[in-house]
């Protein structure tokens, strides 16, 4: 892609994320403005955290452009702030992971409980089937015994008539 002749020679549209002042100028003109200093510091921290080298270079340049403007954060302060933010982010991610695990545990417990209930219901059904089978067998034995008794009576009555 060709650069527009109206743009400065080092202008990169895809790297146009450097902090800008109210008129589109770089922040260095308003370096003593606390909101601009904070914006530059935040951009530098974000670039450090993301690992994006282009954004890091832009943020570093904006930071350096502030020069000795009385900016109270040293690189060591920025590093400490980055560590705090990274630690807070890691803690937040750990909490989210813990919540997700807790939700998964709750789901697993609910599934286990549903399985226990299904197993109990299955055992009850099996007991009902066994009881019904025993009743059917007892009824069949009773009928068979009744049929055998009737045959014997008929045979006795039949023999008594012939004699």
Per-residue pLDDT of 95-151, as tens digits, reads 888 889 999 999 999 999 999 999 999 999 999 999 999 999 999 999 999 999 999
What average pLDDT does the segment 79-98 reach?
A: 83
Angle between helices 75-162 and 34-50 (to 10 degrees): 50
- The structure's pTM equals 0.35
- Could you report the per-residue pLDDT of 69-83, keeping only the tens digit for each? 545 667 777 778 778
∠ CA 75-12-59 to the nearest 5 degrees? Answer: 10
Rounded Cα distance between 3 and 15, Å, is: 13
Q: Are 16 and 61 in contact (CB under 8 A)?
A: no
């Amino acid at each position: 892609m060709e650069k527009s002749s109206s743009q400065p020679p080092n202008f990169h549209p895809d790297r146009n994320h450097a902090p800008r002042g109210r008129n589109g100028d770089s922040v260095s003109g308003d370096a003593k403005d606390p909101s601009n200093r904070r914006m530059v510091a935040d951009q530098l921290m974000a670039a450090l955290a993301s690992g994006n080298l282009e954004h890091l270079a832009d943020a570093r340049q904006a930071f350096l452009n502030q020069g000795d403007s009385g900016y109270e954060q040293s690189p060591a302060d920025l590093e400490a702030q980055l560590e705090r933010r990274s630690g807070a982010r890691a803690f937040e991610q750990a909490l989210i992971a813990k919540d997700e695990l807790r939700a998964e545990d709750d789901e697993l417990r609910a599934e286990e409980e549903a399985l226990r209930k299904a197993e109990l219901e299955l055992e009850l059904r099996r007991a009902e089937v066994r009881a019904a089978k025993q009743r059917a067998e007892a009824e069949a034995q009773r009928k068979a015994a009744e049929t055998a008794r009737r045959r014997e009576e008929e045979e006795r009555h039949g023999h008594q008539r012939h004699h």
